[in-house]
Amino acid sequence: MPSQRKALAVVLAAGEGTRMKSDRPKVLHQVAGRSMLAHVLAAVAVAGVESVAVVVGPGRNDVRDEALRLAPHARVFVQAERLGTAHAVLAAREAIADGCDDLLVLFADTPLVTGATILALRAALAEGAGVAALGFAAADPFGYGRLLQDDSGRLLAIREEKDASDAERAVRLCNAGLMAIDGGSALDWLGRIGAANAKGEFYLTDVIEIARDAGRTAQVVRAEETEVLGVNDRIQLAQAEAVAQNRLRRAAMAAGVTMVAPETVFLCADTAFGRDVLIEPHVVIGPGVSIADGAVIHAFSHLEGASVGAGATIGPYARLRPGARLAEKAKVGNFVEIKNANVATGAKVNHLTYIGDADIGANANIGAGTITCNYDGFFKYRTEIGENAFIGSNSALVAPVKIGAGAYVGSGSVVTKNVAADALVVARGRQMEKAGWAASFRAAQAAKKAAK
């Protein structure tokens, strides 16, 4: 069984990605809030692969850093020259030489591959194959290498498009690129690959015929075309995003989340849901969000780096920024922004309000138009609002400041000093009234205008 075998995954991440038209390396572009490299490394972990080697291009410290952030025990190798896929794999020769049962070759720009598919490749080796290649039935096979099989279905060779005959080009079973190779023979077989082809490169696909010449069999493991989508430009990146979003939505709904219009909801790979969550249309959820049982996210809300407690209500048109933590049955209403703040059980921030760097006590009520003034241009400061406190509409709380439990802040106040528990504070200009002033003003202005 694969779980009893030692595995090494070599992840090829050295591509320039020139068609992306970007200063960012291709494999660091994101799908569902996670870099493509991160998706592949996550699938590798699901497949129980113990060792990882990542092959990067020269000077690509950003790719190296991302790999080590995600897989701290990974080994990173540099492919100084780009002479084909087999040459890229051999950049990790040192890791391969350490020995393994299963050598897996994966591509960091194929982000949708699943752990289950990697396990299927490993299972083929466990059953005795020398090589297992991942294939798919292409709707349009043009440009892909073809998987050539004998009558019993064993893999004979992989022929690149430019080197294929007309009969071979008619084959619709195509090479996805991912491959599993017997670890004990891998270095020997890879070392025998030559560059006698139209492009003068060392093709990893030649390992099929080399393995067969050594008396070993090769198998095909099939996957859906959407799973093996390679990303080379922004158009394909958008296609991968669409596939990933559909997967995430289906998984969430299968786990007990209701989405009124799922095609309008966008999730991240790490979004965590409880049961009986309701998501209304046009909601965007960024990285680092957890939503507990029974919470409701109303339409047109945006969440990132936030936790939403059980039974809480968000939106519509709300924004939760990183560090927003809502306890159970808290309420954040329309046109409210919460950032780096704790909103305790039952507290209400209903509308037109900014709460940043603050702690809101249980059952407190924050009136419309309230602002926590948390930044002086250099440093951030916290506002503390006690439980059952009532903040009147259009108030500005100038941090650092504490509003005691049960205190009332009169509407329109600018509070700069701490307020004691159960006190009333009114901090605004005294109202003055001049009888008849408006009528006199209008008459004087009308006469002035007429004179002109």
Per-residue HEC secondary structure of the chain comes to CHHHCCEEEEEEECCCCHHHCCCCCHHHCEECCEEHHHHHHHHHHHCCCCEEEEEECCCCHHHHHHHHHHCCCCEEEECCCCCCHHHHHHCCHHHHHCCCCEEEEEECCCCCCCHHHHHHHHHHHHCCCCEEEEEEECCCCCCCCEEEECCCCCEEEEECHHHCCHHHHCCCEEEEEEEEEECCCHHHHHHCCCCCCCCCCCCHHHHHHHHHHCCCCEEEEECCCCCCCCCCCHHHHHHHHHHHHHHHHHHHHHCCCEECCHHHCECCCCCEECCCCEECCCCEECCCCEECCCCEECCCCEECCCEECCCCEECCCCEECCCCEECCCCEEEEEEEEEEEEECCCCEEEEEEEEEEEEECCCCEECCCCEEECECCCCECCEEECCCCEECCCCEEECCEEECCCCEECCCCEECCCECCCCEECCCCCCCCCCCHHHHHHHHHHHHHHHC
CA distance 15 to 25: 8
Which of 29, 39, 298, 351 does the annotation list as catalytic? 351
Amino acid in the structure at residue 397: L
Tell me whether residue 351 is one of the annotated catalytic residues.
yes
| Residues labelled catalytic | 351
